[in-house]
Amino acid sequence: MKKIINSNKIPLPRSIQEPMQKDRVALLSAAHFINDIYPGFIPPLLPLLMSRVGFGLSAAGVLVSIMSVFNSLAQPFFGHIADRSKTPYLVIFGPMVTAVFMGFIGFLNSYESILLFVILSSLGTAAFHPQAAVYAGRAGGNKSGLGMSIFVTGGSAGHALGPIIIVPIVTLWGLKSALSTVFLGLTISVILFYTLPKLRYISAKDSYQIVRNGYARPRYAIAFLWIIVTIRAFIICAFITFLPIYLHNKSYSLFLSGSAITVFELSGSVGALVAGSMSDFFGRKKIIVFSLVFALPGLFLFLKFTGILSFVFLAAAGLFIYSSIPVAIIMAQELFPARVNTVSSFMMGVSWGVGGLLVAPFGILADKIGIQNAMVYLIYIGIMAAIAAMFLPETYKVS
């Protein structure tokens, strides 16, 4: 019989004593996959939109930046709404809103209208994520880490496959054919509407904490965790952004330079899928520390070696650094259960938004000292995050 460690003797919530609801986890992961397909449409569609409407590279950059801001930084607003609501309408209708406004983008004839539809589509995505993450965590039951891992992996796969889905469609039938993809978002919203039960409301009055080691200040722990997660997001965003340029400067082909990102992200998906389950048994804190500590040698050795061996170290770095993503989300929910949607939005949205914004000053640094030297600084920053993670409280562990 597995035993749940709870040294503070606080009554454990019913949700983490029940077995994982596999069908609900699968449904939410599928919804995450479908929802995150649509943000991946914009980059490959930009050349067609620029040609049709007539805007330049600067305007294209603004479009992508605005999409990123609303995708991520708007999430706390919807998280706050979800924490005050007893209904799951944000997670149900989020994919539909995302799909409809992105699907109609091929019919627009002005930059302003494209920008508006991208914002509205992004708001659908921002609305979906916090509440969906809470559902995934609770559906995981006594394997909440595994449930969150499957959920996160679904979104990662959707984002990665978005360009592959949309490019053949618009290539064969034109830009307006993007409308045909709307049925995916509509279908999953209908399925969610009829199958997803109402979320059991947890007020601050009857909230629980499963914090070990007598940690009495979850708000400080949440802030500390968010800083660590934001540093990790910054390292990933900066590394992905400048990885092709770094490899191109090393005389790698364009194909290999682009493939490096795929290697990094795919190995990261594997790490995220495995780590959540491991955190159920070894503890959230240990996995977060472990993921950061072991990612940094991989990044360092990637910069020191060339050829196939460098790609092996790159895959190892991706495997570890991505692995703490679902663990940090579920840890935040356990630290602050009275505001699970809000804290999920900060871990899933705001951290990535801020991390992405920090890439700009990192690019300025790379211009001054060189890409390779700048990437070494990423490792130093990662060391600070790993040390900081050692001071996090433990929240949940099965032994």
State the pLDDT at residue 4.
43
Digit-coded pLDDT (tens) for 233-242: 999 888 887 8
- Please classify residue 344 by burial: count the beta carbons closer than 10 Å to its beta carbon, then call 0-12 exposed, 13-18 middle and 19+ buried: buried
As a whole number, mean pLDDT of residues 324-332 equals 89
State the pLDDT at residue 378.
92
pLDDT > 50? residue 7: no
pLDDT > 60? residue 302: yes
pLDDT > 50? residue 223: yes
More reliable by pLDDT, 256 or 258:
256
State the pLDDT at residue 167.
83
Q: Please report, as a single letter, which amino acid is at residue 246.
A: Y
- Out of 18-22, 315-319, 342-346, 368-372, the most confident range is 315-319
The DSSP code for 181 is G
CA distances from 205 to 66, 76, 211, 342 (A): 38, 21, 17, 17
Domain 14-195 has CATH 1.10.1660.10: no
pLDDT > 60? residue 2: no
- Give domain limits for the chain: 14-195, 218-389
User: Does this chain's domain 14-195 share its CATH topology with 218-389?
Assistant: yes
Digit-coded pLDDT (tens) for 348-377: 888 888 888 888 888 888 888 888 898 999
Residue ranges in the chain assigned as alpha helix (H): 22-37, 42-49, 57-72, 75-84, 89-103, 111-139, 144-173, 182-195, 218-249, 254-282, 284-304, 308-321, 324-335, 340-345, 351-357, 359-369, 371-389
Superfamily name and number for 218-389: MFS general substrate transporter like domains (1.20.1250.20)
Q: How confident is the model at residue 206 (pLDDT cuts 50, 70, 90)?
A: very low
| Cα-trace Rg, the chain | 21
Digit-coded pLDDT (tens) for 36-80: 999 888 888 888 888 888 877 778 777 877 888 888 888 888 888
pLDDT > 80? residue 255: no
More reliable by pLDDT, 252 or 104:
104
Stated pTM of the model? 0.81
What's the mean pLDDT when you consider all of the chain? 83
How far is residue 311's CA from residue 317's CA, in Å, rounded to a whole number?
A: 10
What whole-number percentage of the chain has pLDDT above 90?
A: 29
State the pLDDT at residue 63.
82
